[in-house]
């Protein structure tokens, strides 16, 4: 893993970081330091363990210490919005931020998860949501970020399917009101009706995530059209049971590692204003996760 001693800290080293609780298992330091190394920047990305009671002071610290930017992870993505100066319009819709940019003491919040997924979809799978029927499995935080971002990218319709149908209805209603995108909500029990018309299917639930690798969302792959793309935002394992079954059914698939790399790339681009070295970031993630 790249470290500061291999790059050398100077009096002008630009500091970036991530706050969360817990933070020890975050993949962002390895990914972002690999990016900074590839860019040969005099910069370092540091993990900070910040509990809920220290959040306000930690954000004050970002200002006081001139930290150029931070990522924000669980459990602070919503609460932290109270302590910053401005929120990007998409992040405002999502209702959570994962990135803060410090411009001369003014803190601006962004949510890069949705754009991370969209870039993975377009750049890795070569697909765009425009004119497509997009079916999102799940209605939690990741579904919100992806749902709003894709709804702003002119899909034909978005189906939100969730175990708890009330949450699906709430999210679908919000997306339709805020973006004008046509939405449909269903419980998992009603999902099969929408599979034959689905162009892009996205699992945003943790089903299949390590260590529960045998679980998968209740999708009958044979009902999907042969042109459908099946996406999973779970990145560990690299190929979930959900994606393996889709591949076996002859469908194109998109794993979650790309979203993880591109959400980090989008944050780095906000902070530094340069194109992020996505390949170096993916390589660092693969090494850190021990996946292939
Ligand atoms: N690749 C990336 O960059 C990236 C980024 C963000 C998140 N993720 C991954 O996305 C997943 C979800 O994260 P999140 O922040 O959205 O979580 P969250 O806010 O807790 O939402 C979880 C969603 O999954 C559903 N769910 C949970 N357990 C389920 C089960 N056993 N059966 C059926 N549905 C279940 C929940 O349904 P109910 O409403 O019915 O409870 C809810 O809709 C995690 O695995 C996370 O690692 C990946």
Average confidence (pLDDT) per 10 residues, the chain, 292 residues? 63 97 97 97 97 98 98 98 98 98 97 98 98 98 98 98 98 98 98 98 97 97 98 97 98 98 98 98 96 72
**Is there a single domain that holds both residue 88 and residue 160?**
no
Q: How far is the CA of 9 from the centre of ligand 1 (A)?
A: 38
Active-site residue, 156 included: no
Taking the centre of ligand 1 as the mean of its atom positions, its distance from the CA of residue 104, in whole angstroms, is: 36
What pTM was computed for the model?
0.96
Residues with Cβ within 8 Å of residue 139, at least 6 apart in sequence: 160, 162, 164, 167, 168, 170, 171
Residue nearest ligand 1's atom 48 by CA? 233
**Nearest alpha carbon, ligand 1 atom 18:** 140
- 33 and 165 inside one domain: no
- Indicate whether 119 and 251 sit together in one domain: yes
| Residue whose CA is at the smallest distance from ligand 1 atom 24 | 205
What spacing in Å lies between the alpha carbon of 138 and ligand 1's midpoint? 6
Distance CA 121, CA 259 (A): 8
Q: What is the pLDDT of residue 114?
A: 98
Do 54 and 88 lie in one domain? The reply is yes
Q: How far from chain centre, in Å, is Cα 152?
A: 16
Per the structure block, which two tokens stand in for 146?
A: 């992806």
Cα of 204 from ligand 1 centre, angstroms? 5
Same domain, 242 and 155: yes
For a ligand 1 pocket test, name from 205, 262, 263, 291 the mutation site with the most ligand atoms within 8 angstroms of its C-beta.
Answer: 205
Which tokens sit at 86? 């401005």
Residues 248 and 119 in one domain: yes
Domain of residue 90: give its range: 4-111+258-289
Residues 37 and 132 in one domain: no
DSSP string, 7-22: H---TTPEEEEEEESS
How does DSSP assign 153-202, residue by residue? T--SEEEEEESSHHHHHHHHHHHHHHH---EEEEEGGGGGGGGGG-SEEE
Whether 144 and 224 share a structural domain? yes
Q: What is the CATH number of the domain that holds 270?
A: 3.40.50.10860
Domain holding 119: CATH number? 3.40.50.720
E strands of the chain, at which residues?
Answer: 14-20, 43-49, 69-72, 86-87, 99-103, 106-110, 133-137, 157-162, 183-187, 200-203, 229-232, 252-254
Examine the domain organization and report whether 91 and 207 are in the same domain: no
**Looking at the 3D structure of the chain, how many domains does it have?**
2
Same-domain pairing of 132 and 176:
yes
Pocket of ligand 1 (CB under 6 A): 113, 116, 138-143, 162-164, 167, 204-207, 209, 233-235, 256, 259-260, 263
Q: Would you say how long the chain is, in residues?
A: 292
């Amino acid at each position: 893993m790249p470290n500061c001693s291999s790059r050398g800290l100077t009096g002008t080293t630009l500091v970036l970081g991530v706050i969360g609780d817990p933070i020890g298992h975050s993949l962002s330091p390895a990914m972002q330091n690999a990016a900074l190394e590839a860019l040969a920047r005099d910069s370092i990305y540091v993990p900070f363990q910040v509990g809920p009671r220290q959040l306000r002071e930690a954000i004050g610290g970002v200002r006081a210490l001139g930290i150029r930017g931070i990522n924000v992870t669980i459990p602070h993505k919503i609460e932290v919005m109270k302590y910053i100066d401005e929120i990007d319009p998409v992040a405002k819709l999502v209702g959570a931020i994962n990135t803060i940019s410090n411009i001369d003491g003014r803190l601006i919040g962004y949510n890069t998860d949705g754009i991370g997924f969209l870039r993975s979809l377009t750049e890795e799978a070569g697909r765009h949501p425009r004119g497509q029927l997009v079916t999102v499995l799940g209605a939690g935080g990741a579904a919100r970020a992806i749902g709003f971002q894709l709804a702003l990218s002119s899909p034909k319709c978005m189906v939100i399917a969730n175990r708890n149908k009330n949450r699906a209805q709430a999210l679908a209603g919000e997306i339709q009101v805020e973006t004008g995108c046509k939405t449909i909500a269903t419980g998992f029990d009603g999902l099969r009706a929408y599979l034959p018309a689905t162009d892009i299917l996205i699992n945003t639930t943790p089903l299949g995530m390590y260590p529960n690798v045998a679980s998968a969302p209740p999708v009958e792959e044979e009902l999907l059209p042969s042109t459908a793309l099946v996406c999973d935002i779970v990145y560990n394992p690299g190929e979930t049971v959900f994606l393996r079954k889709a591949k076996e059914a002859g469908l194109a698939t998109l794993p979650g590692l790309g979203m993880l790399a591109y959400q980090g790339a989008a944050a780095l681009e906000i902070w530094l204003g340069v194109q992020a070295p996505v390949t170096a970031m993916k390589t660092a993630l693969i090494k850190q996760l021990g996946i292939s």
